[in-house]
Amino acid sequence: MAAALLALGVPRLLWCRASAGGGRFSSSGLPAGVRERASLGAVMQRAAEGPFASLRFDNLALRALPVEPGSGEGEEASRPRQVRGACFSRVRPSPLERPQVVALSAPALALLGLEAAVLQEEEAALYLSGCRLPPGAEPAAHCYCGHQFGSFAGQLGDGAAMYLGEVLGPQGDRWEIQLKGAGLTPYSRQADGRKVLRSSIREFLCSEAMFHLGIPTTRAGSCVTSDSTVVRDIFYDGNPKNEKCTVVLRIASTFIRFGSFEIFKPTDELTGRTGPSVDQDYIRVKMLDYVIGTFYPEIQESYPSDTVKRNAAFFREITQRTARLVAEWQCVGFCHGVLNTDNMSIVGLTIDYGPFGFLDRYDPDHICNGSDNMGRYAYSKQPEICKWNLGKLAEALVPELPLEMSETILEEEFDVTYESHYLQKMRKKLGLVRLELEDDKKLVSDFLQTMEGTGADFTNSFRLLSSFSGASDPEEQDIFLQKIVEQCASIEELKVVYKPKMDPRQLSMMLMLAQSNPQLFALIGTKANINKELERIERYSGLQQITSDDLSNENKALWKEWLQKYSSRLKREQNSVNDVESLNSERVKVMDSNNPKYILRNYIAQNAIDAAESGDFTEVRRVLALVENPFQDEEYLQGVQERRSPEEEVEDAAGACSSAERKPIYSSKPPLWASELCVT
């Protein structure tokens, strides 16, 4: 019977209970045969109604955690308010006008048991936009707080995202699904609960890109736009415009985050804000029971009667997961952009893709978020910020986990775990596959400094290394040097990078203010920002004095010095084995599976956005196919690279498109205009 039930999609939980109960379902007094026929009949009926009706919902979070009273219907349900004593509020998605599928992720939808290839786009657009709800869905918005840019912001919550429920996938996994951009909730504050096409395409593509890079992340099953519009001022510069409302289906084991535990926070000393459920400590207990029991079952089983030790083991595990996660980000050059506590996953996933970015030219101080004026979330600061956020989670777990215990765990675990994982990953990226030497950390550091000094492309420089064998042949070294120098920034690129940002008169005034009134200066600027501007002016001035040949020669000298160190290290690898040829083959394989050829650079996402905003979704789908195969060479992806829309085929036949106008190969260095893109 079990095999038949599983094949027909009956939840494993039900037939397991039947087997354990002597052939009877423990939750029913019906005879086993009657109950079995009823279950099979329900499954068959759902299947006949279509794929979305066949989704198997089991909304455990709404049963385990307190839900605000109310049906979710009517305007009152989405009225902005402080929600006390609850983790969720019932809501309803707001319908969109003429929803249309932009793109579907087949691997992500397969987690839910949906086959993207057989979905009817019109029906899919209705369900995946929230215009129609599948049976078993219970839309709700999650209540959480957060420290934003270092300050406690009070109640935040799902202002645009809606929990639909938890789907039991074909492999027995439980997946929470959300619609992001589905309309107003009690947590929308003064906003409209909508997301637009450009931000939704970025989140959709990056969620899948990160997964295929092997980095823990929430997933995105679909991106659906519409004819409904909202007004947005993209750069907050007084130039608003109408943009299309768009919805992304997000998938994860859970979307609970650090900030979910901050709803109990007492009055913050700096901001005066409090969590909406302060003094409701019993809810914190329920949340810990739910999170640990559901997502860390091995910890729950190890400490069935000692909750303090259990909570300590949970905090140790999330500390380690977060440390490994940010190490993975650093190794692919990923910048999150908004590392607030409300954007940190309680299960160690990358969550909430907003003004993210991947490094082009290596710059440890790169800030991907145009709104981050102080550089709090710069690339190089991400590890320390994640550790700081874990400290805030530790505070939020008191008294269920004493602060002295969690602080000790944080100090013992985070830095060690981060450094170990980071170096382990970097060894793979450099092809150091046999020996682990103390000098490896210095070799990695020198490589990054050489990239910074030459303005080299982060992704492409790593990828190129597998073509360098380490041999002492001068001709081979010269060929490689030429290739790596081509990945370095040109004078034109550097002039864009180092162009002064402050008016000379403003800079002069700030310098005088720093001397005459340090207190006032501290309120409107920082010494670090002024020093950076002075450095920028100096670098920009120097660029006016050199030629392209001068720059190329300087870059070659820097890379030649590092390559000598790298060659020596590779020689030590080779001396440790008998079969050098086999070692070299292994080395190339490891490097090419850890150094991506394709990442979701901002300009690539922007190309897809520009095309989609003009009504052409083929570029979004093409980019999705690329980021689903980030480690493959062009030969493997030829079909993807040359994929043409029907309209383009007609133009080609008419001679309207020359080969030079073909779509770009996205593994090359980004164009000059890419460095001027601003994402807020």
Residues identified as active-site:
342
C-alpha torsion 116→120→122→125, nearest 10 = -20
Tell me how far apart the alpha carbons of residues 576 and 585 are, in angstroms, rounded to a whole number: 15
DSSP 106-149: HHHHHTTT--GGG--HHHHHHHHHTSS--TT---EEE--EEEET
Q: Which two tokens stand for residue 217?
A: 């992340």
User: What SS3 class is residue 100?
Assistant: strand
- Enclosing H/E stretch for 427: helix 403-430
| Backbone CA torsion sign across 30, 32, 38, 43 | positive
Contact 514, 521 (CB under 8 A): yes
- The DSSP call for residue 361 is B
User: What SS3 class is residue 637?
Assistant: coil
- Enclosing H/E stretch for 81: none
Tell me how far apart the alpha carbons of residues 404 and 396 are, in angstroms, rounded to a whole number: 13
Tell me how far apart the alpha carbons of residues 45 and 50 are, in angstroms, rounded to a whole number: 9
Q: Which CA distances in Å does 183 have to 12, 139, 200, 393, 604?
A: 34, 11, 14, 29, 28
Nearest C-alpha neighbor of 411 from the set 390, 393, 396, 395: 390
Angle of CA points 61, 64, 65, to nearest 5° = 80
Nearest C-alpha neighbor of 118 from the set 109, 127, 129: 109
Contact 133, 226 (CB under 8 A): no
Contact 134, 127 (CB under 8 A): yes
- Enclosing H/E stretch for 612: helix 602-613
Tell me how far apart the alpha carbons of residues 388 and 152 are, in angstroms, rounded to a whole number: 13
Q: What residue type is assigned to position 395 of the chain?
A: E
Peptide bond into 95 cis (omega under 30): no
515 burial via Cβ count (<10 Å: 0-12, 13-18, 19+): exposed
309 burial via Cβ count (<10 Å: 0-12, 13-18, 19+): middle
